[in-house]
């Protein structure tokens, strides 16, 4: 199984580029600011959240951006039979990637994690390998998102 670092450089995102897909590696999530927001009341004690809360929130936001990027990438595959969708759980706020069957009709909808490998097995070699790497990346991002939200929760609890 392939290991992924906490940040995915553009060169590694290129490895996720599907065969025959348009170049979307250069597209980045618009929610990530180019320059971090400055705290207007930084030294008065009345400013925004402490640094650890801001850093934890930034980590969660980065992971959410990476999830959106991966979802967008899977939608660009020509003749796709399925793609990743970003799903938000209302109760926890968790964002996670789930596979969906492309198209409409009785076969459209979410594909359970356990059944996804049967779908991969029917694909041609290079495309199957790409989907398997993408699937591992989705699982890793989902795991990191849970960890990052938990770290944010703890940082907020320490702050209050």
Query: Per residue in 11-33, pLDDT tens?
Result: 444 456 665 544 443 445 655 55
* Low pLDDT (below 70) residues in the chain: 1-49, 104-107
Query: Per residue in 50-65, pLDDT tens?
Result: 889 999 999 999 999 9
Q: Which token pair is 137?
A: 């990346």
Buried b (16+ CB within 10 A) or exposed e, 116-145: beebbeeeeeebeebbbbbbebbebbbebb
């Amino acid at each position: 199984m392939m290991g992924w670092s906490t940040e995915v450089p553009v060169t590694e995102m290129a490895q996720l580029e599907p065969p025959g897909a348009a170049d979307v590696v250069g597209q980045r999530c618009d929610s990530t600011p180019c320059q971090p927001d400055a705290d207007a009341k930084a030294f008065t004690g009345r400013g925004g959240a402490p640094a650890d809360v801001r850093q934890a929130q930034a980590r969660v936001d980065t992971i959410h951006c990476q999830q959106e990027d991966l979802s967008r990438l899977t939608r660009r595959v020509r003749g796709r039979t399925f793609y990743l969708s970003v799903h938000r759980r209302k109760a926890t706020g968790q964002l996670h990637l789930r596979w969906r069957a492309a198209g409409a009709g009785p076969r459209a909808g979410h594909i359970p994690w356990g059944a996804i490998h049967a779908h991969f097995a029917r694909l041609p070699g290079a495309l199957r390998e790409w989907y398997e790497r993408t699937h591992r990346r989705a699982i890793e991002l989902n795991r990191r998102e849970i960890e990052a939200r938990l770290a944010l929760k703890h940082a907020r609890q320490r702050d209050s």
